[in-house]
Amino acid sequence: MPMNAAAAAPSSGGDPAAGSVLLRMEGITKAFPGVVANDKISLELRAGEVLALVGENGAGKSTLMKILYGLYRPDSGEILVRDRTTRIAGPRDAISQGIGMVHQHFMLIPPFTVLENIVLGSETSRLGVLSYAKPRAAAAKLIELNNLHIDLGASVEHLPVGLQQQVEILKILYRGAEILIFDEPTAVLTPQESDELFKTFRQMRAQGKGIIFISHKLDEVLDIADRITVIRRGKVIRTLDRAEATKPLIAELMVGKPVILNVDNPRLPPGPAVLEVDKLGFVNAEGVAALRDVSFRVRSGEIYGIAGVEGNGQSELIRAIAYRTRISGGSVRLLGADLSGLDVRSRRELGLAHIPEDRHKFGLLLSFSLADNFILGSHYKKPFVSVLRTQVRRQIAENARRLIAQFDVRAPSEQTPAHALSGGNQQKVIIAREMSAKPRLLLANQPTRGVDVGATEFIYKQLVEAKKNGAAVLLVSADLDEVMSLSDRIGVMFKGSIIKEFERESATKEEVGFYMMGEKAR
């Protein structure tokens, strides 16, 4: 309640006593047509703490943060910044209240320098001429204070992702943020870069800032958070102190039932090579060699995991196998057949199945029914078409009902459009479709991205199931834990090449992480 409204001005910027409440959200409710995204959510953030916000996808974390940042207006409830009721109508208000947000997708202008990006929107000028002297000095001080490692003169487009994120942090610190929101900041980072980020967190925490940290990675949450707020279906389930929090407890609170993340994944005697990639090269439209001399084999009955920081050629590799006909050198063979001349349909006929990295962009026709999505890719074949090339509705519906039951897709009916489903269930639809084709080679590109713990476990089991059925599985994931726990063999990609292969038994997270950074490349 705004009782002591006469207290110090919110933007005084002075060092607040550690532990004083920076931010309080009380009874925040936000309903969208038909869905209550936030249901009387209350939380508080103290000065000098990292508050982790965890919950499944669609639990309401992003909505809550968008309300805090002024992108949504709550239906009811109050936001108090330093005990003063505040109306946040837009990001501008949020920033003036000392609230800053590092988005999952960076809001930077690539050709601009770091300094230009930092002053963007709050430029200082004299007689209309931009002046950089003061901002430069201020930014340099912030860099020193916060364990950042950026060159203010570098253009952003040439910086690696980890440093771009630092630019984002610097940007909001420059605007005087005391409350910093991080929306899944480690999703794009290597373990080493994540460690650097957490060092910065600790520095900021020591300065009395409050950090809200959204993450799906429970290890990180336990590593850095002081308190952990668990949200499920739009409600705060519980806020835990670090001391009482354990991984199984958080996972259980998140999904409402205990989950086992350990999948029984036995090593099988490998069969013959299914996928053979030999000296594959690819030069993209910009003339950059996205793939260079990539060679590896994936055998029947094994999962081959590609570890690597995103953007090191993984997507290009998958595309070359999945559909691209033009390559710059080398060869890709599936069961002995050269893929370079084959269109997608022929590749699928050979036994290729594909769980694409972006299910909305590549995997599902969102406005189509589940039944239609289930037949995609085999929709031209019997039993889904008659001799007259008309569609056989009954078979299509039956197929859908069977897969919905078999893969435990939570949907009202097979006629429900795909967009109505949650992320995890959408992914299940894709996996059901691809698995039902009985693949010889399964490409799984970021198969658990943005899905909840329960669905993740299910997906892991399906990948292992495919391997047990004799398929060769090629797994690409930005989540190193995922690659480590599922793969029989691991290839590390760096700058378009596989620079190192590990057997499952001999791989350690640290070692793989070093190769991901390219540390041992030369």
Partner 1 sequence: MKRFNRYALYEVMAPLVGFAASMALLMLIVVAVGENPGNAVDAIWKMTFATSTRTATVLSTSVPLFLAGLAVAFAFRANIFNIGVEGQYFIGGLVGAMAGIYVPLPAFLHIPFVVLAAMIGGALWAAIPAALKVGRGIHEVITTIMFNNIALALVNYLVNGPMSGLGATGSLEPQTRHILPTALFANIDWLFRAAGWNVPDSVYLDYSLPVAVLAGVLVWFILFRLRIGFDLRAVGTSTDVSLYAGIKVAKVQLGAFLFSGALAGLVGLQEIFAVRGYYTFQIASGLGFDGIAIALIGRNSPVGVAFAALLFAFLRQAGYGLQFFTKVPNSVISVITGLMILIIVVSNELVSRYIKALRKKEAM
Alpha-carbon distance of 103 to 94, in angstroms, equals 14
Q: Tell me how many residues contact partner 1 (CB under 8 A).
A: 42
CB of 414 to partner 1, least distance (A): 12
CB of 345 to partner 1, least distance (A): 4
The residue range among 44-52, 168-176, 299-307, 405-413 that interacts with partner 1, by the rule CB under 8 A, is 405-413
Out of 14, 33, 128, 269, name the contact with partner 1 by CB under 8 A.
33
- Three-state secondary structure of 247-278: HHHHHHHHHCCCCCCCCCCCCCCCCCEEEEEE
The answer to whether 322 contacts partner 1 (rule: CB under 8 A) is: yes
Nearest to 260 by CA among 268, 269, 251: 251
Nearest to 165 by CA among 179, 176, 142, 149: 149
Residue type, 458: F
The answer to whether 372 contacts partner 1 (rule: CB under 8 A) is: yes
Outline where 37-122 has alpha helix (H): 61-68, 91-96, 114-119
The answer to whether 368 contacts partner 1 (rule: CB under 8 A) is: yes
The answer to whether 257 contacts partner 1 (rule: CB under 8 A) is: no
The residue range among 33-41, 81-89, 117-125, 466-474 that interacts with partner 1, by the rule CB under 8 A, is 33-41
Tokens representing 86 are: 């505040």
Nearer to partner 1, 134 or 419 (CB): 419
The residue range among 166-174, 196-204, 303-311, 388-396 that interacts with partner 1, by the rule CB under 8 A, is 388-396
User: 114 near 150, Cβ under 8 Å?
Assistant: yes
Alpha-carbon distance of 225 to 245, in angstroms, equals 10
Helix (H) or strand (E) holding 235: strand 235-241
The answer to whether 415 contacts partner 1 (rule: CB under 8 A) is: yes
CB of 362 to partner 1, least distance (A): 5
Tell me the CA end-to-end span of the chain in Å, nearest whole number.
60
The answer to whether 363 contacts partner 1 (rule: CB under 8 A) is: yes
x/- binding map, residues 13-32, to partner 1, per CB under 8 A? -------------------x
The answer to whether 356 contacts partner 1 (rule: CB under 8 A) is: yes
Nearer to partner 1, 94 or 352 (CB): 352
Nearer to partner 1, 177 or 322 (CB): 322
The residue range among 89-97, 124-132, 282-290, 362-370 that interacts with partner 1, by the rule CB under 8 A, is 362-370
Out of 347, 428, 440, 489, name the contact with partner 1 by CB under 8 A.
347
Alpha-carbon distance of 302 to 472, in angstroms, equals 6
User: 64 near 240, Cβ under 8 Å?
Assistant: no
Q: List the strands of the sheet with 329-334, edge to edge.
A: 289-299, 273-283, 329-334, 337-338
The answer to whether 410 contacts partner 1 (rule: CB under 8 A) is: yes
Out of 172, 309, 327, 411, name the contact with partner 1 by CB under 8 A.
411
Nearer to partner 1, 45 or 421 (CB): 421
The answer to whether 420 contacts partner 1 (rule: CB under 8 A) is: yes
Location of structure tokens 């590896």? 296
Alpha-carbon distance of 139 to 121, in angstroms, equals 15
Out of 422, 436, 469, 485, name the contact with partner 1 by CB under 8 A.
422
The answer to whether 437 contacts partner 1 (rule: CB under 8 A) is: no
Residue type, 176: G
User: 414 near 404, Cβ under 8 Å?
Assistant: yes
Alpha-carbon distance of 348 to 342, in angstroms, equals 10
Out of 344, 401, 454, 495, name the contact with partner 1 by CB under 8 A.
344
Residues within the interface to partner 1 (CB under 8 A)? 32-35, 322-323, 343-345, 347-348, 354, 356, 361-368, 372, 376-377, 379-380, 384-385, 389-391, 410-412, 415-417, 419-422, 425
